[in-house]
């Protein structure tokens, strides 16, 4: 295995590996449940704990798989975690997979008053989380490009109090696609498939966010909502999205001051209603 084995610069403890200084962690491949870094077993041996705790700026993860070799969720750990005091920046992940964490695949939730600045994830896969796949809180200028978040017991993506995030991502076989809460100036483009019972996209008390043209499909028969605005979301833009298998394409939730394009559907699909008040919001198309 070509994974680094000297782990110089790491501070191992009972909670997993802590990356406490600038470092590069590089593996043989992003695929393979039997290769890569493992979740640590807790002191009682009852479950799995977090693998990597990021506690330094400018950490790079590349060609790496974080997993167990059992093929199912266990424990309460996180694949990649930032929850410590101190603002971090420059976390860079390329071709990284995180599989079967008990809690989240990726969790960037700095201590109160701190931030995570400019993390970048490209060509990554998050799979099989016991809760939400990806959780970001007080993260600024995040970039996620060609990143999948699939088969979780929770949502694919949760962003809270984030600013300037740019996401080109997918969420499939999850309980809710992507939630943006108290976010500003974020831009998302999503392939969401099988996300009931929660909507594919929720903007909750958001400002100046843009939903780019996305694909939203659910064939579970539960007829979820495609896009939901709520809690005073305003000055946001909803571009035309391709939707199928939903009960409402867009529900403005009583919000005002948004620009909402009419949505589209497959030519063979029955018309899909929406709940948008043209006096409260500008409707285009």
- Tokens 């695949």 appear where? 105
CA pair distance 127, 170, nearest whole angstrom: 11
- Give the pLDDT confidence score for residue 36 in this predicted structure: 75
Q: Compute and round to an integer the Cα radius of gyration of the chain.
A: 19
| Confidence check: pLDDT of 148 > 80 | yes
* pLDDT tens digits, 199-228: 999 999 999 999 999 999 999 999 999 999
User: What is the token pair recorded at 242?
Assistant: 């391709």
pLDDT of 85 reads: 86
Choose between 167 and 45: higher pLDDT: 167
30/111 Cα distance (integer angstroms): 29
User: pLDDT tens for residues 70-115?
Assistant: 778 878 889 999 998 889 999 999 999 999 999 999 999 999 999 9
The CA–CA distances, whole Å, from 212 to 113, 147, 159, 200, 238 equal: 31, 16, 17, 13, 7
N-to-C CA span, the chain: 55
Q: What is the pLDDT of residue 8?
A: 47
* pLDDT range class, residue 12, cuts 50, 70, 90: low
Q: Which of 21-35, 150-164, 193-207, 220-234 has the lowest mean pLDDT?
A: 21-35
271 is written with which tokens? Answer: 């018309």
**pTM for the whole thing?**
0.94
Q: Domain extents for the chain?
A: 80-284
What percent of the chain lies above the pLDDT cut of 90? 75
Pairing of strands 10-13, 16-19: antiparallel
Does the pLDDT of residue 38 top 70, yes or no? yes
> Would you identify the CATH topology of the domain 80-284?
Pectate Lyase C-like (2.160.20)
CA nearest neighbour of 225 among 207, 205, 252, 256: 252
Provide the pLDDT confidence category of residue 2 given band limits of 50, 70 and 90.
very low
**Average pLDDT in the chain:** 91
């Amino acid at each position: 295995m070509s994974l680094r084995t000297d782990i110089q610069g790491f501070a191992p403890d009972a909670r997993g590996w802590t990356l406490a200084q600038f470092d590069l962690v590089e593996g043989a491949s992003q695929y393979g449940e039997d290769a890569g870094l493992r979740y640590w077993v807790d002191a009682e041996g009852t479950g799995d704990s977090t693998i990597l705790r990021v506690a330094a700026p400018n950490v790079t993860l590349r060609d790496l798989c974080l997993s167990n070799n059992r093929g199912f969720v266990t424990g309460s750990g996180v694949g990649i975690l930032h929850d410590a005091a101190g603002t971090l920046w420059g976390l860079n992940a390329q071709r990284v997979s995180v599989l079967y964490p008990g809690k989240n695949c990726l969790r960037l939730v700095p201590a109160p008053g701190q931030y995570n600045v400019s993390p970048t994830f490209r060509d990554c896969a998050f799979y099989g989380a016991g809760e939400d796949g990806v959780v970001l809180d007080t993260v600024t200028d995040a970039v996620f490009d060609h990143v999948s978040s699939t088969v979780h017991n929770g949502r694919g993506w949760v962003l809270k109090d984030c600013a300037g995030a740019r996401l080109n991502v997918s969420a499939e076989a999850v309980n809710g696609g992507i939630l943006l809460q108290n976010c500003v100036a974020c831009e998302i483009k999503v392939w969401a498939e099988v996300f009931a019972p929660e909507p594919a996209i929720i903007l909750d008390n958001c400002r100046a966010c843009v939903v780019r043209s996305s694909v939203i499909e659910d064939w579970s028969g539960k007829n979820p909502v495609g896009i939901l605005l709520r809690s005073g979301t305003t000055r946001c833009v909803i571009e035309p999205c391709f939707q199928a298998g939903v009960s409402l394409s867009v529900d403005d939730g009583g919000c005002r001051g948004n620009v909402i394009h009419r949505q589209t559907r497959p030519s063979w699909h029955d018309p899909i209603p929406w709940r948008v008040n043209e006096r409260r919001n500008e409707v285009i198309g």
